[in-house]
Structure 1
Amino acid sequence: MTPVRRLRALLLASGAMAPLLAEPAGAADFVVATEAQLRSAITSAGTGDTISFAANVTLTADLPAVQANVTIVGNNNTLSGNNQFRGLFVGAFSGSTQVPVSVSIQDLAITDTRAQGGAGGTGAAGSGGGAGLGGALFVANQATVTVSNVSLTGNAAVGGAGGSGGSLGRGGGGGMGGNGGNGGGPGGGGGGGLGVGADGGTGGLSGQPGIAIDASAGGAGSGGGSGGASGGGGGAGSTGFITGAGGGDNAGEGGFGGGGAAGFSTGGSGGFGGGGAGTAAGPFIFGSGGFGGGNGRGSLAGAGGGGGLGAGGGIFVQQGGSLALAGPLIVNGNSVTGGAGTNANNGSAFGAGLFLQGNGTMTFASGAGQSQILADVIADQTGSGGTGGNAGSYSLLKTGAGTTTLSGNNAYSGVTTIQAGTLQIGNGGASGTLGSGNVANEASLVFNRSGTFTVANTIDGAGALTQAGGGTLILTGANTYAGGTIISAGLINFAAAGNFGTGTITLNGGGLQWATGNTVDISSSLAVLGAAGGTFDTNGNNVSLAGNIGGAGGLAKTGAGTLILGGTNSYAGGTTISGGVLQGTTSSLQGNIVNNAAVTFNQATIGTYAGSISGTGSLLVNGTSTVILAGTNSYTGGTTVAGGTLQGNATSLQGNIVNNAMVVFNQSATGTYAGLMSGSGGMTLQGGGTLAMTGASTYTGVTTVEASTLVVNGSLASAVTLNNGGTLGGSGTIGGLVASNSTLAPGNSIGTLNITGNFSQVGGAYVVEANAQGQADRINATGMASIGGGATVQVIAAPGNYGTSTTYTILNAVGGVSGTYSGVTSNFAFLTPSLAYDANNVFLTLALQGNAFSGFGGNTVNQRSVGYALDQTHANASGDFATVIDALAGLGTQQAPAVLDAISGQPYADFGSFNVANAALFMSALGQQMATARAGGSTGQRQALAMACDVEACDSARPLSAWFSGLGGLGSVQGDGNSSTLTYNVGGAAAGIDYRFDPRFLVGLGVGYAHGTQWVSSFMGQGWSDSVSVAAYGSFTQSGFYADALAGYAWFNNQVQRQIQIPGLQPRTASGSTGANQFLAQVETGYRFGIREMASVTPFARFQTSITSQNAFTESGANSLNLNVAQQTTNSVRSVLGAQFASTIPIGNERALGLGFRLGWQHEYASTGRPITASFAGAPTASFTVYGATPQRDSAIIGFSATATVAEATQLYLRYDGELASGTDNHALNLGVRFSW
């Protein structure tokens, strides 16, 4: 057992120190929950033991050094220095010699520790301050420390302050925490150092001891003495720790980190501590500080010591020590502060995170998924300015698959080697650097910084470099790394292709920036663009990329200068321009373009750009060929055509255009160009659509219109050439006009086209719009007007009340008019156009001629008849009828036919056919009664009685019958191109009584009432008819022969209400009512042939006639358009030849059902024209004749009947009669009951 463990055992046995000593959980496991237990464990643990934290520990004093090979496990607890005391000191000593020790520190947070350098002593010449080193962890010479899952935050290393001059000399400042001597006799000794401090010599008071085990005070005395390897501050003596000789008669130099002693007489030097001051030497002598220590200062009145070094706020590794950092790690918020010099220089501060003395390698080993974040500075001696004996260089080695992030502005000077995983520089902010040495990258090097920063290191290896931050990374090294460059954010500024190593460059959210003066083409190294796209910042340079650029992302051009894309590109994410000029062709510029700077198409072959261009930037077209813009563009910076041809349409060509070459609008639809076009170039319109130009364009080239329509509502300085099939319209101004076999249509509806030059029209048409207010399209020319080649005038007039004659000026030429138009037409039905000329004008007159209404070409007989009446009266019309004439005069060819029909009164002519159909329905009802009576009684024996008995023998038969029928019918008569189609329906009832004198003779009387409605197509309104009918009928039956006859009278009340609409007038409703008398008669005969016992066929012939006389009447409600309708007589003489097929079916109880089917042919002998003669109330002397729909003369007859005996003297019957012909049909239905007694 070691002496320390024996001592611990004795103390525990006595019980006196038990609460203060850690009790091992096992044979070599110390569980600590308090500061006392931790101190006990550090001094008690031996090789292979474990010190485990069970709780957070806060220090009240500095801990002893860890000198055994132990493992310290924090269990995610915290060790706090309470902002006063240092953390862990790892170093072992054998006497005054440092010996190897290996310590592992795991899962521990060390925070708020403080390594404070000793203050220099006060005397006649003050001593230098000591160094403050390794706030959280000090790794001494011969010590090996591995940390894993450790967090170092808020720790500090602070150099000691220099001493001030006083009456007597004093010793040097303490090295690792001991203070210099103060007071007593002359020549005080140096402060205590790291280890054992050797005595100085004889003299005044000694300094205080350091913190290391077995540390003792610095020697006292004015004679020589050394701080020794322990690092104690020297008095006036010899060698200090690591460097610096002992003091002598003169002031000495401080050792590593020590402040120089000031010397009025004699000074000494220390090791880690500051040098002391002597009393015997000459004045103004002072020592210089060691590495990082402030120089002392001497003066006649007194002197002061320099401040001590502050280094390694988180970790200090002494030369000869070794540090490896594994697993998760946080080094953040640590600090270093140099000691204040007293009337002398302050100490320096290096490595807030880590300071590494001497030469060596620090290892960062983060595993897969693990993150190491070092936000504080890593520094070594060379990187902190050390040279010569104070130089020292440390390298960084990154291993493991995880990520190590350096976000401090580091000052280590060795090589950075990335064997595995990722070394990230910066964490999104403005700080983070590599060391100054070269980089061997075999895995992944990532930069994630904002702002602009330079990496001058030479980077080699097989790994990749990634720019992931939003800042600009400037690569200046001649790099050879082969893993490629990935830019996912920000920019990489480069001066040569070699800055990117030998791999490919992948842009996926970031971009490239050319250094000033650099124009290198790196397109051969570019990989396809990632989905997030790539940025190209030319930075004031003119750069060409000849290679092809593809990928899913977009291309962004930024910075001043020009980027020229020369490849056949296929990138899919579109193009954005926010600075400088992007130049390309329709093959190299891809996708939609957001242009907030300038884009240039330099086209050598014809090409189409199908994307859309938006933004505030401008567009330049250059080259020798044609650029076709096919997208919908909205850019607002204007367009310049300096060479070649720019082709588009009203959706792709927008804004102002400086046209010094050629612009083509290929317009297939209707569009507007509202910009201003200037320059010396010309413009062509093609494509068959319409382009309206509303701006004040000043370009001087020729405007050519090819089979399209140009509407000028602004102004063109250019002359217009209107070629075959072209049209020119609008109310603007043009510089001249040459029209060949084309159309002129000034205005937008009605307007004036102004020509500041000559006008020539050869062939084609001048289309003139006019209205009833005396306004018409017009051309005003300041030069000459020449007309020829068969050019015509076409008038398109608006509806209105024109009157009988209106004259318009349609052409005025200041330089005179030569030639004439070959003809003039209009869209008027009744107004006739004509042209007249004088020296400077062409006049158009629209006048109502004498035969205007009847001479309207292409109208019907009815329309012409009405027109004749209007022609006879329009010259002398007055009042409302004159108003009507004016309105009619303004009708177009499409309106006139319908209006002439509307005022004609055709529905009255159709009453004749309607009344004839009504008579046929009533006669059908009477015919059914005679047929039912012939069919027999309840047993079907009535015909047998007629053949076998005389009158007396039949006295017992039921001779008297009464009947009642419901009537219905419908039909239509198709129009014939003159008249419109008639459609009607009718419903009513009939009743009667008849008497059989003997089985052969039947006489009877019937009456009926019907109501019907008629419609005439293309007429608004309808007609009604109510009728009352009466007729006598008789039937003779002998064997199979029969003869039926009837004669009667009907009275009709016919009414019509029709709407009249004439453009320009209020609608009118005309109402007419009249009576009609009708005489009707029918004779039918036939012979029944029995086929079988209960079946027969009966050929028959029928003759039917009616005479209908409709009374004259006058309408009301339509003012001068009311009709005076003359009396009308309608005759119908028809014959029917056909046959009926009948059968009797027994239905039980001696009852029978008789069925009959009829087929026949009907012929009409009378006239079917059935016209009316009428005149207008406003022109009663001019009558006209109008025909209604004309029925066909021949038609097929079909019929069906059913008779059922339902009681001894009761029969039910159903009868249908149909007339079918081409364009004519009539259908009658008769359903009723018959009683006999």
Structure 2
Amino acid sequence: MQNLEAFGIAGGQQQTNLSYEALVSQTGVATPMTGAIPSSGNELIYSVSINGLDYSIIGGEDGNLPFVALVDPSGLATPLTGATPTGNGAIGSVDINNLNRSIIGGYHNTSVPYAALVSPSGVATVITPSPAANGAIRSVSINDSGNAIIGGRQNGGGAFSSDPYAAIVSSSGVASIVSGATPASPGDIWSVAINSSGQGIIGGWNTNGFLPYAAVVSPGGVATAISGDVPVSSGVIESVAINDSGVAIIGGAHNGQNEHYAAFVSPSGVATLITGLPNNKGEISAVDINSSGNAIIGGNHFTFSLTYIALVSSSGAVVPISGDFPQFNGTIRSVAINDAGVAMAGGDHVDSQTPYLVLIAPNGVATNIVGYAPIAPGSTYSVDLSDDTIVPPTIGSGGSYVDALFPLSTQVLPNHHRALYGYSENCPCPGGQPNTPHMSCRDKTEYVIWLAPFGSYAHNKKQQNFPSITNWIGGAMVGFDYRGIESAVVGVGVAYAFDRANYGENRGHARVHEEFLALYGSWEGNHILIESALWGGFYQMHNKRNTLGFIRSKSHINGWLFNPHIEVSSPFYVKEDWIMLSPFVMFDFANNWQGKIRETGKSGLNIRIGRAYTSMLRTEVGLKIYETLKFNWGNVVFEQKGSYANKKPFHTSSKSAHFAGSPATFDVGLFPGKTQNLGIIQVSSQIIPCRNKYPYGSMSYQGEFGSKFQSHTLVFEVGKRF
């Protein structure tokens, strides 16, 4: 069973009579559900809902029988048990909260309204008292406290001769009929919604004049009819939504059903008309609103034939969508918008025959969902979004900023120090042994110029919210030493590294160019060697981030690095003058000042993040072993190292971010905060001629291994002394 990490859900009908039910994963693939899904050949999914834990519920009909199932994050549908609906009917509305408690509504036994609470394990319990016969529950909504609201019709012989019905349902399943400014008969409640405080909104129509009706409902179940810019003449409120601030949005048609109607509604019930809608005859059949008060509306226009969809800011500004816009005739049947300002819409277009299903960025750019898309003829009847899975938990290459710096500071430069320090002191003199035990016949060296190309592979496993990251790094360092000071070396070097970082889970990749300047030096005393360096440099990151696996956002991120390095070792011979041990301790403190992130991309899912600072302390302690083979022409030195390293990050808290064009903010991780403990092995060899007219050379391999990280670095060096 695969984990799809669903960010959304969609349901409807395809191929004329087959149901369509799909989860959409963060890799951007709409995947069909499995398990208990409709199979009669005469099927339809009317309603879907998904919570923040990626659990969902779907409802519809299967062979004229009511259908409902819970769906786990892998896409496996499980039928309900308990007081499930029976006989001919359909489940027309479902909702699930973040505690995996659900409510479902519809009708069964041909004409009996049906509403039930559903436990997390899938046991249905019918609400009491139930609505009267001859009707249907059209709409349901539940909050995280388990309190719900339901609406529809009862006591009627048909859709236009029934009594309107609306009730508040307690978490124990007791229904209380809404009181106050309730709709008059005949009528029908088409849509309901409830927020976390128990405030509700209901909409539909009432009286023989088919007048639009909308009211806010208190947690105690008292309805207050909306005032202000109320709909006029005959029509209907088809869709309502409310956020946790108590701000609602309603949509439908009015003025003899000749005009669109959409309005924001204050917590006290005052409606403010949303202007800028099409002037042609049509309807707003779907609305939704997020915590920031930004909304999405959809429906049709021009005598109900052209699909219409738009984003609406909290100030009422209407932004028609662009990108994968619906074509020709059709309607938008369902919309959803999450707190990041990302929306989803479903319906049909192309003469109402082709299902339409898109993701919409906060700037209004629509992108078709790919993968298991519904097949024409058909329509997407219902969509929903999990609040935060469209928001990337992380951006960038994480802690990879040290994956090129640390090989330079802990391997390339230290290898250079060891290649020439002291191991050729006892070069044999031509023609025999030196006259004294400590006499050396090597050429005196005052200056050294050297080149060290290197390559490195590093892999970080998935940790916290960061995907696995694989780094392929190549670069080189050029240095110049001054060795005219007794027992000391000072030098300067420049280095360049290129890092290709590939992100797991199809999240994208980065190309990083890094340029460094290093000032270094060392001093040798009696059984003590101190090596130090100051590293500073700049980097330019070209980051490509994938949303849902296929929507690309690009950014150019600049920053600079500063890293002081020090190593203290205590070398001593244990076997004459050819085997030496050197216990050591090494410290690096890498500081990263990262610039702003300003993503671009045609989808509009582009993120803005301010400057950031992070740092990492790397501590390494271990033992080095050297074996020196002496020849008349020079020395060959072999080195082995075993050590332990600790990499401790600092200042890794998430940064506030927002999508371009959206006022809603969210937190995004830039750098992982986990400490890494590593085991390290290194083997190297140096060839050092006695005469300066010959170049020297060295080669080194180092491997670092931890539970979440491993790296392999190969360094070559060639230099000329004079």
TM-score, normalised to structure 2's length? 0.52
Aligned AA for 1:1226? S
Evaluate the alpha carbon distance shift between residue 807 and residue 1132 of structure 1 in structure 2; reply closer, same or farther with a 3 A threshold. Answer: same
Q: Quick check: 1:957 aligned with 2:292?
A: no
What is the DSSP-based 3-state SS (H/G/I as helix, E as strand, rest coil) of the residue aligned with 1:1117? coil
* Matched positions, count: 452
2:552 aligned with 1:1069: yes
User: Mapping of 1:38-53 within 5 angstroms?
Assistant: none
Q: What's the CA shift string for 1:187-243, capped at 9, x where partnerless?
A: xxxxxxxxxxxxxxxxxxxxxxxxxxxxxxxxxxxxxxxxxxxxxxxxxxxxxxxxx
* 1:980 partnered with 2:464: no
Query: 2:533·2:565 contact (CA, 8 Å) conserved in 1?
Result: yes
Q: 1:1202 to 1:882 in 2, by over 3 A?
A: same
Retained in 1: the 8 A contact 2:650–2:673?
no
Asked if the contact 1:765–1:791 (Cα under 8 Å) also holds between the matched residues in 2, the reply is: no
Counterpart of 1:887 in structure 2 is 343
Q: CA deviation at 1:1140?
A: 0.7
* 1:1191–1:1101 CA distance, 2 compared to 1 (3 A): same
Asked which structure has the greater RCO (Cα within 8 Å, sep 6+), the reply is: 2
Counterpart secondary structure, 2:406: helix
Task: Classify the secondary structure of the residue corresponding to 1:1044.
Answer: strand
Number of the residue aligned with 2:482 = 995
> C-alpha offsets along residues 383-423 of structure 1, whole Å, 9 cap, x if unaligned?
xxxxxxxxxxxxxxxxxxxxxxxxxxxxxxxxxxxxxxxxx
Q: Equivalents in 1 of 2:153, 2:401: separation in Å?
A: 57
Contact 1:987 1:1012 in 2 (8 A): yes
SS at match of 2:472: strand
Cα offsets for 1:534-564 (capped at 9, x unmatched): xxxxxxxxxxxxxxxxxxxxxxxxxxxxxxx
Cα distance, 1:874 vs structure 2: 2.9
Which residue of 2 is the match for residue 1130 of structure 1? 614
Q: 1:763 aligns to what?
A: 83
Mapped to 2, the partners of 1:880 and 1:1120 lie a distance apart of 13
Q: Contact conserved, 1:980 with 1:1189, CA < 8 A, in 2?
A: no
Q: What code does the residue aligned with 1:1058 have?
A: R
Change (3 A) 1:808 1:974: farther
Amino acid at match of 1:1143: E
Quote the offset at 1:1044 in angstroms. 0.5
Question: Residue 635 of structure 2 corresponds to which residue in structure 1?
Answer: 1152
1:872 aligns with 2:301: no
User: Matches of residues 463-612 of structure 1 in structure 2 within 5 Å?
Assistant: none
Match of 2:125 in 1: 790
Shift of residue 728, structure 1, vs aligned partner: 10
Change (3 A) 1:879 1:1150: farther
Cα shift readout 1:663-693 (whole Å, capped 9, x = no counterpart): xxxxxxxxx9xxxxxxxxxxxxxxx998849
Secondary structure of the residue that 2:417 maps to in structure 1? helix
Residue in 2 aligned with 1:920?
406
Task: Give the whole-Å Cα distance in 2 for the aligned partners of 1:787 and 1:1030.
Answer: 71
What residue number does 1:1215 align with? 700
1:1200 and 2:683 correspond: yes
**Following TM superposition, by how much is the alpha carbon of 1:1042 offset from its aligned partner in structure 2, in angstroms?**
0.7
For residues 1121 and 692 of structure 1, do their structure 2 counterparts lie closer, same or farther at Cα, with a shift above 3 Å needed?
A: closer
Counterpart of 1:887, as a letter, is A
Instruction: Quote the residue 2:453 is aligned against.
Output: 966
Post-superposition Cα deviations, 1:1094-1142, rounded to whole Å, max 9, x if no partner, equal 2121100111112121122422224653222211112122221111122
Q: Note the C-alpha offset of 1:1196.
A: 2.2
Q: Quote how far apart the aligned CAs of 1:964 are.
A: 0.8
1:1021 correspondence with 2:505: no
Match of 1:1227 among 682, 698, 712: 712
- CA 1:1112–1:1216 in 2, change beyond 3 Å: closer, same or farther? same
**Structure 2 partner of 1:849:** 243
Cα-to-partner distance string for 1:1144-1167 (whole Å, 9 max, x where unaligned): 235x55443211111222223441
Residue 1009 (structure 1) aligns with:
496
The answer as to whether partners of 1:777 and 1:810 remain within 8 angstroms in 2 is no
Question: 1:828-843 maps to which residues of 2 (within 5 A)?
Answer: none
User: What secondary structure is seen at the aligned counterpart in 1 of 2:463?
Assistant: coil
SS in 2 for 1:1178: coil
Distance in 2 of aligned mates of 1:1165 and 1:728: 53
For residues 601 and 715 of structure 2, the distance between their equivalents in structure 1, rounded to whole angstroms, comes to 39
- Per-residue CA deviation, residues 364-384 of structure 1 (Å, 9 max, x unaligned), is xxxxxxxxxxxxxxxxxxxxx
In the alignment, residue 1081 of structure 1 is paired with which amino acid? P
1:906 aligns with 2:390: no
Structure 1 residues 1170 and 782: CA distance shift in structure 2, 3 A: closer
2:593 to 1090, 1102, 1109: 1109
Pick from 424, 446, 451: which aligns with 1:937?
Answer: 424
How far apart, CA to CA, are the structure 2 residues paired with 1:1161 and 1:1191?
A: 17
Give CA deviations for 1:861-898 in whole Å, capped at 9, x if unaligned: xxxxxxxx97336354556699974625888999956x
How far residue 958 of structure 1 moved from its aligned partner, in angstroms, is 2.0
- Is the CA contact 1:968–1:1230 (under 8 Å) kept in the aligned structure 2? yes
Identity among equivalent pairs (%): 16
Pair 1069,1201 (structure 1): closer, same or farther in 2 beyond 3 Å? same
Paired with 2:584 and 2:593, the residues of 1 have a C-alpha distance of 30
Asked whether the equivalents of residues 608 and 657 of structure 2 are also in contact (C-alpha less than 8 Å), the reply is yes
Q: Do the aligned residues in 1 keep the contact of 2:400 with 2:471 (CA within 8 Å)?
A: yes
Match of residue 1139 from structure 1: 623
- Aligned AA for 2:682? G
Looking at structure 2, the residues matched to 1078 and 693 of structure 1 have their Cα atoms a distance apart, in angstroms, of 63
Distance 2:635 2:442 in 1: 24
- The correspondence of residues 380-529 of structure 1 with structure 2, limited to 5 A, is none
Report the alpha carbon displacement of residue 1229 of structure 1 after superposing the two structures with TM: 2.3
Cα displacement (A) at 1:1052: 0.4
Rounded to whole Å, the distance in 1 between the matches of 2:707 and 2:201 is 49
1:872 aligns to what SS in structure 2?
A: coil
Q: Determine the structure 2 residue equivalent to 1:1080.
A: 563
CA distance in 1, matches of 2:344, 2:521: 57
Alignment partners' CA distance in 2, 1:1200 and 1:786: 75
Q: In the superposition, relative to structure 1, how do residues 966 and 765 fare at CA in structure 2: closer, same or farther (>3 Å)? A: farther
Distance 1:887 1:1134, change over 3 A: same
TM-score of the two chains, using structure 1 as the length reference: 0.32
Q: Cα gap change, 1:1095/1:1068 in structure 2, threshold over 3 Å: closer, same or farther?
A: same
- Check 1:690–1:1135 CA distance in 2 against 1; reply closer, same or farther (3 A cut): closer
**Contact 1:781–1:813 (8 Å) recurs in 2:** no
Q: Which has the higher helix share?
A: 1
Q: Secondary structure at the residue paired with 2:125? A: coil
Cα displacement (A) at 1:1215: 2.0
Aligned residue type for 2:622: G
How far the C-alpha of 1:1223 sits from its partner, in A, is: 0.9
1:997 CA displacement: 1.9
SS at 2:601's partner residue?
coil
Q: CA deviation at 1:1043?
A: 0.7
Listed one character per residue, the Cα deviations across residues 272-307 of structure 1 (whole Å, up to 9, x for unaligned) are xxxxxxxxxxxxxxxxxxxxxxxxxxxxxxxxxxxx
- Give the equivalent residue in structure 2 for 1:179: none
- Bigger fraction of residues in strand: 2
CA distance in 1 between partners of 2:41 and 2:244 (Å): 45
Q: After TM superposition, give the deviation of residue 988 of structure 1 in Å.
A: 0.9
Structure 2 CA distance for partners of 1:787 and 1:933, relative to 1, 3 Å: closer
SS class of match (1:1159): strand
Given that residues 970 and 1228 in structure 1 are in contact (C-alpha distance below 8 angstroms), is that contact kept between their aligned partners in structure 2? Answer: yes
Contact 2:648/2:675, CA 8 A, preserved across alignment: no
- Structure 2: tracts of 5 or more residues without a match: 1-17, 19-35, 45-58, 70-80, 95-103, 117-123, 128-135, 141-148, 175-193, 207-236, 247-288, 296-312, 323-336, 347-358, 360-368, 370-381
One-letter identity of the residue aligned with 2:538: W
Q: Distance in 1 between matches of 2:451 and 2:137?
A: 68
Q: Give the AA of the match of 1:1071.
A: K
1:570-719 to 2 correspondence within 5 Å? 692=40
